[in-house]
Amino acid sequence: MKKPKLVSIAVIIGVLAGLLLFFWPLLGHPWVFSRCTDVDINSGETRDAVYVLCLRVKNEIQESDLSREVHRLGIDIPAIRVWKCAFESYLVEGRYIDYSYGGVVATCSQLLSVLNQAKAPDEERRVALEMLMTSLRTGDPRQAEKQTYLLIDEIEDKHGLDVLDPQFKEHLKELRKERQAQQAVP
């Protein structure tokens, strides 16, 4: 009597293993399962969306540290949302795509951290974040990221902090010189 039971269990395990091997490659495709995190470049809020078989099963907008600070300081933001993809990941293959705005999100967090370390007053925070938000809205994430690093560098220098790598600070000095030279040309 035990042999038929063992055979049944072996058949079931074999079928499940076969199905898993058949469907495993499909699970890495974005249309099967993907998670996207977008950032609204007008407010700094984030949106998490999860897709299963091309259907959106989750769409959640959240305040980020940046958007909370922008709202707290009363910085004007356009009413229209402009979502840019920051991160995307898939279920099985472990692919994790960091789009250009993913770097901007990270540097924004670093800027807020430096402002907190400096115990910067609200007016200084407002000026820095207004510059950041204006830079974000230009639509060029690499320029926005550079602008954010320049703001971090300025705040560090003003408050005697040492957060950025010294070699990177030298790179920022060169970048600042280039920008000043570009602005000087009529």
pLDDT in tens, 137-182: 887 888 888 889 999 999 998 999 888 888 888 888 888 888 787 7
Is 114 within the bounds of a domain?
yes
Type of residue numbered 109? S
Per the domain annotation, does 13 fall within a domain?
no
Query: Is residue 162 in a domain?
Result: yes
Residue 30: per-residue pLDDT: 57
- For residue 89, being part of any structural domain is answered with yes
- Of 15-24, 110-119, 147-156, 170-179, minimum mean pLDDT range: 15-24
- Per-residue pLDDT band at 64 (split at 50, 70, 90): very high
pLDDT at 172: 85
| pLDDT reported for residue 60 | 94
**DSSP assignment, residue 83?**
E
Q: Give the tokens for residue 35.
A: 């998670």
pLDDT band at residue 109 using 50, 70 and 90 as cut-offs: very high
pLDDT(23) > 80: no
Average pLDDT on 120-148 reads: 91
Rounded Cα–Cα distance for residues 134 and 124 (Å): 16
d(CA 59, CA 55): 11
The answer to the question of residue 22 being in a domain is: no
Whether 146 maps to a domain, the answer reads yes
Q: What is the mean pLDDT of residues 108-133?
A: 95
∠ Cα 104 106 110 (to 5°): 110
Domain range for 102: 28-179
What mean pLDDT is reported for the chain? 84
Query: 41 pLDDT band (50/70/90 cuts)?
Result: very high
CA distance 123 to 8: 73
Report the candidate in 44, 45, 40 with the shortest Cα–Cα distance to residue 81.
40
Spatial neighbors of 59 by CB under 8 A, at least 6 apart, are 47, 48, 49
- Our count of domains for the chain comes to 1
Spatial separation of the C-alpha atoms in residues 136 and 114, rounded to whole Å: 19
Q: In this structure, is residue 17 part of a structural domain?
A: no
